[in-house]
Amino acid sequence: MIEARRELLDAAPWLHVWAEDVRLPDGRLIDGYLRLEMLDFVVVVANAEAGIVVLRSYKHGPADIGTSLPAGYLEADEEPADAARRELLEETGHVSEQWEELGSFVVDGNRGAGTVHMFLARGAEPVAVPDPGDLEETEMSFVALEDLVAALKDGEVPVLPMAAAVALAAAHLR
């Protein structure tokens, strides 16, 4: 239970950092435990006829070019499933009528840092020209799921939520 909290940083809308005084279930009090409030986001594993729809672009987290998946922050009052459909269409021009939830997970086990909602879209089909609106130039392609899983270990999918979604989809589709 949180008995008190003090804001350490307001970098809205991306990040709020709080110091929380937390009463643990066993009664002890932890002083000033850091909590990160960040935007929730979605990641989409879209299975099209030619393979999983992947994007190749520069990402500033790893500071490198790598393979990623359609993904993005939830807009205000947007449901995760709606955000998944929107991001898939915006970033890849694809739609799907067969959506499944792969799970929702808190990013940081100790400090929060937002929740990622992961989706699998089977039978994805192109209906539009992609308009990712990202900061980076993005190149779309298609990769067989087994090749994408193999690429995880080689560091070709350098970002955790993307790698997790690939592995979850593989576990789910097997």
Positions that interact with a copy of itself (CB under 8 A): 8-9, 11, 14-15, 17, 19-20, 22, 24-26, 28, 30, 33-36, 58-62, 65, 68, 71, 101-113, 116, 135-137, 149, 152-153, 155, 157-164, 167-168, 170-172, 174
In angstroms, what is the minimal distance from the CB of 84 to a copy of itself? Answer: 16
In angstroms, what is the minimal distance from the CB of 127 to a copy of itself? Answer: 26
Contacts of 80 (CB under 8 A, 6+ apart): 40, 42, 74, 104, 117, 119
| CA-closest candidate to residue 87, choices 136, 148, 44 | 44
Would you say 46 or 102 has its CB closer to a copy of itself? 102
Would you say 17 or 140 has its CB closer to a copy of itself? 17
**Phi, psi for residue 79 in degrees, rounded to 5:** -75, 145
In angstroms, what is the minimal distance from the CB of 20 to a copy of itself? Answer: 8
- The token pair at 25 is 């279930």
**Which alpha helices (DSSP H) does 58-156 contain, by range?**
80-92, 145-153
In angstroms, what is the minimal distance from the CB of 90 to a copy of itself? Answer: 17
Q: What's the rounded Cα separation, in Å, for the pair 169 and 12?
A: 32
